[in-house]
Amino acid sequence: MGSSNIRNFDWRHVALLARVRDRGLCPDSQLAFTRGAHALQHALLDPLIPGNSSVTLVSRCGELDAIAQFTKRRDRNNARLTFIAPADVLELDCGLQLVESLAFAAGEAGAHNLVADVDEDSPAFERLRQAGFAIYARQRIWSLDPQQEAPVGSAMGTWRVEKGADSLAAQSLYLNIVPGLVQQVEPPPTGVGRNLVHFRDGELLGYLDLERGSLGTWVQPFFHPAVEDFYTLLAGFLSEARADRPIYVCVRSYQSWMSGPLERLWFEPAADQAVMVKRLTAGVRKPFTSPLPTVEGSYPEPTAPIAHIEDSAVL
């Protein structure tokens, strides 16, 4: 297929959304596991939610219509690729054109990176690589069935809700755990009044970044390597957090030691993914400037011939 006609989504395209929403791909795992893989129908309301912005594009290439979207929080430099439908459009050149157009729009919206969570054994993985996405981290999503018997753990009192005064400690924990490459594309978590923290002897050793949705609860854990009772701490959280929805724990490869305790807590692997990033801005090198070498305590005149300056510098 040749080049595609790409334009902004409007309400005239709702019928298209209805046709392709069940064949879409949601490369934002947090969104997919908490609100559903067809989250675009909900995300259309994001412009009405303070702090969120989204751009949705529609593509027509011959007889094929497709739709794609990114969402960006206004306080973040990153945008998340949230929906592409139909998913097999990525196998075509016009699908890559749609992704490139979305990346351009994200850059115009102030995003420095476009992030996507992709199963490495999916066709989308290789196609996004061709579109300029690179692997920045790997993650495994662990799932706990709501019917599973709650574990016996410590009291929930070991955790408390994050306060504004905890932000510095949370940032320090993040900087000590998360590799520098990932820090370039993901800011430290913030969730005052929502996320949970665990302090011991005045030091923050555990942090749970939480997102609750209609389909499940998403947990992004950050634990100091010195923590020896991860199992007990997470069991304490689960004993109070259980509901009629699954709990999903996202474990990055740099904290893979959590896998054993999660298995003991009856979690099962749900997905193995690559966190892929397309850089939208390139660093601009600041030019190095320095005065010309002095000759006997004075600067050469700007109007002096170049040859004269060079001869003087030698002297």
What's the pLDDT at 34? 92
Percentage of residues in the chain having pLDDT higher than 90: 50
* Alpha carbons 152 and 39: distance in angstroms, whole number: 35
Q: What is the pLDDT of residues 33-77, one digit of tens each?
A: 998 866 455 545 555 555 567 888 988 877 788 889 998 887 788
Residue 310 has pLDDT above 60, yes or no: no
SS3 157: helix
Spatial CB neighbours of 63, under 8 Å, sequence gap ≥ 6:
none
Sheet holding 247-252, edge to edge: 5-8, 52-61, 64-73, 78-85, 113-119, 268-279, 134-144, 247-252, 217-223, 203-212, 196-200, 160-161
Q: Record the pTM.
A: 0.82
More confidently predicted of 88 and 219: 219
Could you give the domains of the chain?
5-132 (3.40.630.30), 142-272 (3.40.630.30)
* Alpha carbons 75 and 109: distance in angstroms, whole number: 12
Q: What is the pLDDT of residues 255-306, one digit of tens each?
A: 999 999 999 999 999 999 999 999 997 544 444 444 444 444 433 344 433 3
* Alpha carbons 291 and 262: distance in angstroms, whole number: 61
22-26, Cβ contacts within 8 angstroms, sequence gap of 24 or more: 23/85, 23/86, 23/87, 23/88, 24/67, 24/83, 24/84, 24/85, 24/86, 24/87, 25/83, 25/84, 25/85, 25/87, 25/90, 25/124, 26/82, 26/83
